């Protein structure tokens, strides 16, 4: 692979301003993490994050078509969290919530806003993140996969957010394509000689996996934090034509092809944001999910090879619900399991995420926790594992007690909150077993209000708002107080109107 030094495009300089403004919206009261006495041997931490993987796409949760033996093994040897939630229902804000320990009413990046020619709005470099917290604790930190929180040369690039090494896609838009012309290694553009937007020889997720495993080898004698934002099964349907693909082609022999639109297919007229045509959509999706499972197995093998398994915590999850683009067919695979909704919904199918915690000798094997937790809990959880004490100026709560089976010591959320800045604006609150959803926030004087009792109706089929007006009003008030105004991601009509004056 030939490496080329990147230079920031002038158009990218504007995102520095956006990052600064976003920081103002976030607030400057974040307190630094205070270190406690160092342990003799810190626990390695790995966060494996699948992209658009549905709750029902895994074997141990009932998937009938796709084989996921390594992830199933992870669950059998660890703890499954049945009430775990992603940070958002799309990519960038979900990752922002994870990194900052803040829900989408407070975290700086609240949508998938892009900048040109490449990248997304940058995370402010002054905000505390998981990467910075663990660097302070003496960890080597690496991120391998999809970033989407700021281009090279901005405040949001990985090195400015606490990661010693990054390899993968900086831009979410480029991550729609599995055979890109190049990837990024820190600030270096790495050409892929087998790809030129017409050829499809170098499958990017496999290249990223190679770097991921090398990171474990290179840091086996140091405490490390490994963030694995795997790209699959997001966006276009594409997988190498290997034994995994052959198995699923045999399983789904009579497929209806997916035909991409203009510029969708690799060639001289290809457009990067598109989704290629795929003659075997079901087989390809299944192969992509099983490939994630293979990556998980390779990480487990690498830990065993280096004698690290007994001193490593792995968290496995997904960034949001299953998607329906590019020929993906979540209805066929029952990807949302028992829940309503998909990616871009704030119903359970859009934000309830599968989550496994694996920590040999610490977490009791084959257990399930019903503790209600979310992405913004990962920062304080990882900090506690690392031996740090974190301030209370975040939304997250460590769930280490729940992982260790000390439920009587586990602090609980009063409620969880989400906001979504597409499709007319949406909000959701979970408080105990109550779940409230508000639609048409942006433009309607009479938004749609919905209220569900998840203990009786996990599929959110019966709207109880009309019969419980006091509870619905209470949930609406929580929605209002949970939203901190952000000058870039306007939400309520009053904010937009004020900006226009």
**How far apart (Å, rounded) are the C-alpha atoms in residues 471 and 152?**
46
- In Å, what is the CA distance from 302 to each residue of 71, 212, 305? 15, 10, 5
Domain boundaries, the chain: 20-27+41-413, 419-500
| 20-27+41-413 shares its CATH topology with 419-500 | no
Cβ(296)–Cβ(206) below 8 Å: no
Please tell me the predicted confidence (pLDDT) of residue 494. 67
Q: Return left, alpha or beta for 161; rule: phi > 0 is left, psi -120 to 50 is alpha, else beta.
A: alpha
Q: How far apart are CA 300 and CA 308, in angstroms?
A: 9
Q: Which CATH class is domain 20-27+41-413?
A: alpha beta
**E-strand spans in 173-262?**
182-185, 188-191, 224-229
Going residue by residue through the chain (501 aa), what tens digit of pLDDT does each one get?
A: 444 434 344 344 333 334 433 443 434 333 333 334 344 689 999 999 999 999 999 999 999 999 999 999 999 999 999 999 999 999 999 999 999 999 999 999 999 999 988 999 999 998 999 999 999 999 999 999 999 999 999 999 999 999 999 999 999 999 999 999 999 999 999 999 999 999 999 999 999 999 999 999 999 999 999 999 999 999 999 999 999 999 999 999 989 999 999 999 999 999 998 899 999 999 999 999 999 999 999 999 999 999 999 999 999 999 999 999 999 999 999 999 999 999 999 999 999 999 999 999 999 999 999 999 999 999 999 999 999 888 768 999 999 999 999 999 999 999 999 999 999 999 999 999 999 999 999 977 889 999 999 999 999 999 999 999 999 999 999 999 999 999 899 888 667 665 565
Domain 419-500 of CATH type 3.90.1150.10: no
The burial class, CB within 10 Å (0-12 / 13-18 / 19+), for 319 is buried
Indicate the helix (H) or strand (E) that contains 5: strand 3-5
pLDDT of residue 492: 83
d(C-alpha 227, C-alpha 466), whole Å: 44
How high is the pLDDT of residue 500?
Answer: 61
**Residue 371, burial from CB neighbour count under 10 angstroms (0-12, 13-18, 19+):** buried
Place of tokens 């990017």: 204
């Amino acid at each position: 692979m030939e490496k080329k030094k990147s230079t920031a495009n002038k158009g990218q300089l504007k995102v520095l301003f956006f990052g600064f403004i976003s920081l103002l919206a976030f607030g400057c009261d974040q307190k630094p993490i205070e270190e406690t006495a160092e342990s003799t041997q810190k626990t390695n931490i790995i966060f494996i994050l699948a992209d658009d993987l549905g709750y029902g796409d895994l074997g141990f949760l009932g998937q009938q078509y796709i084989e996921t033996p390594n992830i199933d093994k992870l669950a059998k040897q660890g703890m499954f969290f049945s009430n775990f939630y992603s940070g958002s229902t799309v990519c960038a804000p979900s990752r922002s919530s994870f990194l900052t320990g803040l829900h989408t009413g407070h975290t700086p990046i609240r949508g998938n806003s892009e900048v040109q020619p490449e990248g997304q709005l940058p995370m402010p470099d002054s905000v505390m993140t998981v990467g910075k917290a663990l660097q302070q604790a003496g960890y080597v930190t690496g991120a391998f996969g999809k970033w989407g929180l700021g281009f090279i040369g901005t405040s949001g690039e990985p090195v400015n957010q606490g990661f010693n090494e990054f390899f993968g896609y900086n831009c979410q838009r480029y991550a729609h394509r599995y055979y890109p012309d190049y990837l990024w290694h820190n600030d270096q553009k790495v050409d892929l000689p087998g790809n030129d937007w017409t050829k499809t020889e170098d499958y990017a997720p496999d290249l990223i996996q190679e770097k991921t495993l090398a990171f474990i080898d290179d840091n086996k004698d140091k405490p490390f934090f490994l963030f694995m934002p795997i790209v699959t099964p997001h966006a276009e349907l594409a997988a190498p034509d290997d034994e995994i693909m052959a198995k699923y082609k045999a399983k789904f022999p009579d497929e209806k092809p997916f035909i991409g639109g203009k510029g969708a297919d690799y060639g001289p007229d290809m457009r990067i944001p598109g989704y290629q045509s795929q003659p075997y959509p079901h087989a390809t999706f299944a192969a992509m999910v099983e490939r994630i499972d293979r990556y998980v197995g390779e990480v487990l093998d690498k830990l065993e090879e280096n004698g690290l398994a007994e001193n490593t915590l792995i968290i496995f999850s997904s960034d949001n619900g299953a998607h329906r683009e590019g020929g993906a067919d979540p209805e066929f695979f029952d990807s949302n399991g028992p829940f309503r909704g998909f990616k871009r919904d704030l119903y359970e199918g859009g934000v309830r995420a599968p989550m496994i915690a694996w920590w040999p000798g610490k977490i009791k094997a084959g257990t399930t926790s019903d503790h209600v937790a979310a992405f913004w809990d990962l920062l304080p959880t990882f900090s506690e594992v690392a031996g740090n004490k974190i301030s209370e100026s975040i939304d997250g709560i460590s769930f280490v007690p729940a992982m260790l089976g000390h439920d009587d010591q586990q602090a609980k959320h009063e409620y969880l909150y989400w906001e979504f800045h597409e499709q007319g604006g949406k909000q959701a609150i979970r408080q105990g077993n109550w779940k409230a959803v508000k639609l048409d926030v942006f433009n309607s004087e009479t938004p749609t209000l919905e209220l569900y009792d998840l203990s009786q109706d996990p599929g959110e089929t019966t709207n109880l708002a009309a019969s419980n007006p006091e509870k619905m009003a209470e949930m609406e008030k929580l929605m209002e107080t949970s939203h901190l105004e952000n000058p870039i991601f306007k939400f309520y009509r009053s904010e937009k109107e004020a900006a226009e004056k």
